Structures are given as structure tokens and as C-alpha cells.
């Protein structure tokens, strides 16, 4: 199980049982050292149709909200775009790996979910935190 999966499980538990969302997870090591792990905001994805099992008769498809947990690389992209806009090369330099921008768990998934927008003139930016000079219509 990855660290992102563990953090997602803890965040979901807190959300369901305390109707709140944790900002960080504190871990105490056997040596007594404590570390703090920030918990990213769990974003909601669009409804996804759930397919019936092969042995069941097809029923009316139900829509279910599946939480979207950005990958560490995607969190880096979102953080880099807070209040800023970057064209592809500049964004790649800021996040440290231009080649991963358009691969799985990269920029395309964020654009498809509406978390990042693209302007031909300005480049990529976050619609919830646009830089000065970009007017959202």
C-alpha cells in the first residue's frame, strides 16, 4: 500500500466520522521522532458509471462520486500554478520533469477534471487561483 493510499484512507475516515478534513497526518517513529505529512484536498471527480458484475442482470446504471486524489507529481503541478501561469517548457522546468507533463498522472488529467486550464497566450493556470491579468469568463 502506498503512502498516498494510506493518507487517502485516513482522510476519508475523518471526513465520514467527523464531517471535517484533516490538514496533516502526524506520525511518531519508534525512535520518538515525529514527522508531519500534509494531506492534500481530496477533489471530487465527475460521476462515473458503475458497471454491473458479469453474473448480474444489467440494471439501470448508478452514478457514484469517486474521490480524486492527485498524484505527488500532480500536486507539484497544482502548487506551481497557484496564482501563476506557465507555458509548457516553463512549467516543466518548475516541476522538474517536462517529459512527465503529458504522461499518465500528469497535466492532461488535471485539465480534463477542470483543475487546470490552458490559455494560448498565457499557458497553463489554475481557474481557482488565476494569475493577475487572466480574466475568467
Q: Which residue has the cell 497544482?
A: 78
Q: pLDDT at residue 46 above 50?
A: no
Gap between the Cα atoms of 82 and 77, Å rounded: 9
pLDDT of residue 135: 67
Instruction: Report which secondary-structure segment, H or E, holds 73.
Output: helix 72-80
> CA-based Rg of the chain, rounded to a whole angstrom?
18
**Is 17 within the bounds of a domain?**
yes
**Is 57 within the bounds of a domain?**
no
Grid coordinates representing 43 are 477533489
| Range picked from 13-17, 24-28, 39-43, 72-76 for highest mean pLDDT | 72-76
**Is 56 within the bounds of a domain?**
no
Indicate the pairing of strand 123-125 with strand 117-119. Answer: antiparallel
pTM of the predicted model as reported, rounded to 2 decimal places: 0.53
- Mean of pLDDT values over 66-90: 88
**Is 54 within the bounds of a domain?**
no
**22/76 same-domain check:** no
More confident residue, 54 or 92: 92
91 pLDDT band, cuts 50/70/90, is very high
Q: pLDDT at residue 71 above 80?
A: yes
pLDDT, one tens digit per residue, over 110-130 is 998 888 988 888 899 988 888
CATH number of the CATH domain containing 84: 1.10.10.10
Structurally, the chain folds into a number of domains equal to 2
**79/122 same-domain check:** yes
Neighbours of 115 (CB within 10 A): 19
Name the β-bridge partners of 118: 124
Domain containing 101 equals 70-137
**Is 53 within the bounds of a domain?**
no
Distances from the Cα of 122 to the Cα of 102, 131, 132, angstroms: 18, 10, 11
87 pLDDT band, cuts 50/70/90, is very high
- Mean of pLDDT values over 67-82: 88
Q: pLDDT at residue 93 above 90?
A: yes
* Residue after which a domain boundary falls, among 69, 84, 105: 69
Gap between the Cα atoms of 129 and 137, Å rounded: 14
**Is 92 within the bounds of a domain?**
yes
Gap between the Cα atoms of 110 and 117, Å rounded: 8
> How is residue 96 annotated by DSSP?
T
Q: pLDDT at residue 94 above 60?
A: yes
Amino acid at each position: 500500500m502506498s503512502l498516498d493510499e494510506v493518507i487517502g484512507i485516513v482522510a476519508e475516515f475523518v471526513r465520514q466520522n467527523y464531517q471535517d478534513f484533516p490538514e496533516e497526518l502526524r506520525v511518531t517513529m519508534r525512535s520518538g521522532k515525529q514527522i508531519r505529512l500534509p494531506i492534500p484536498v481530496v477533489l471530487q471527480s465527475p460521476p462515473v458509471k458503475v458497471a454491473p458484475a458479469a453474473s448480474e442482470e444489467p440494471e439501470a446504471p448508478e452514478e457514484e462520486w469517486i474521490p480524486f486524489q492527485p498524484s505527488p507529481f500532480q500536486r507539484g503541478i497544482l502548487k506551481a500554478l497557484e496564482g501563476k501561469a506557465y507555458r509548457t517548457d516553463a512549467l516543466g522546468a518548475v516541476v522538474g520533469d517536462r517529459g512527465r507533463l503529458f504522461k499518465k498522472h500528469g497535466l492532461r488529467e488535471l485539465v480534463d477534471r477542470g483543475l487546470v486550464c490552458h490559455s494560448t497566450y498565457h499557458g497553463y493556470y489554475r481557474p481557482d487561483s488565476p494569475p493577475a491579468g487572466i480574466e475568467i469568463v
